[in-house]
Amino acid sequence: MLRSIRMNQILFIVCVLFAGQELGADGGTASRDQADAFFALHAGRWSGKVQSTIGESEISKVDDESLNYLDFDYIKSNGLLTMRNYGPRSGGRGFSHYDARKKVIQSINHGVGGVVTHHEIYPKDGHWGRKSKQISPDGSMREFTSTIKFLDDNRTIHIDIHLTKNGEVVSSQTNVWRRIE
């Protein structure tokens, strides 16, 4: 009973956080079944030696790599994917759900230092496309496009991240995550 009440509270918070977040994804749509498959692929623990994560304000600005971890929990009965990211420079929490109205996967990540990133995710060319808007604590915003690929029998996540300005790629970074659990 207490777990059910807590889950309802979490879902309410997620709904409030997503309300009004229009990214204007023009890349495609996803079905609920595709969203469920995307969530199931993520479930578990991952590690990656990466320069930065999309939840950091320093993304695409750091030259040295550090070991980071991602923990994903797929709550199938509620259609919710939760994420925890932690590393020496970063950390954060995220939630993903299927938006039946917009027909995309929506995610929101809260990083250290108050960085909030909104994502829309959809199938693209046999992989996954992601459009992101990152909002810094000072209110400034940056936009990203990414391609997410599951490789090596779904034991590796390969993410190409592109910082864009006025539709043009300004800088790029690739993060590779390997399943450890």
Give the CATH number, domain containing residue 19. Answer: 2.40.128.20
Task: Say yes or no to pLDDT of 14 above 70.
Answer: no
Q: Which residues contact 90 (CB under 8 A, 6 or more apart)?
A: 52, 53, 55, 56, 68, 111, 112
DSSP string, 83-133: EEEE-SS-EEEEEEEEETTTTEEEEEEEEGGG-EEEEEEEEETTEEEEEEE
pLDDT digits (tens, 9 = 90+) for 94-129: 999 999 999 999 999 998 889 999 999 999 999 999
- pLDDT bracket for residue 146 (50, 70, 90): very high
In angstroms, rounded to a whole number, what is the distance separating the alpha carbons of residues 38 and 58?
A: 27
Number of H helices, E strands in the chain: 2, 10
- Local structure of 80: helix, strand or coil: strand
Q: Domain range for residue 114?
A: 2-179
What pLDDT is attached to residue 87?
Answer: 86
Residue 75's DSSP bridge partners are 80
Overall domain count for the chain: 1
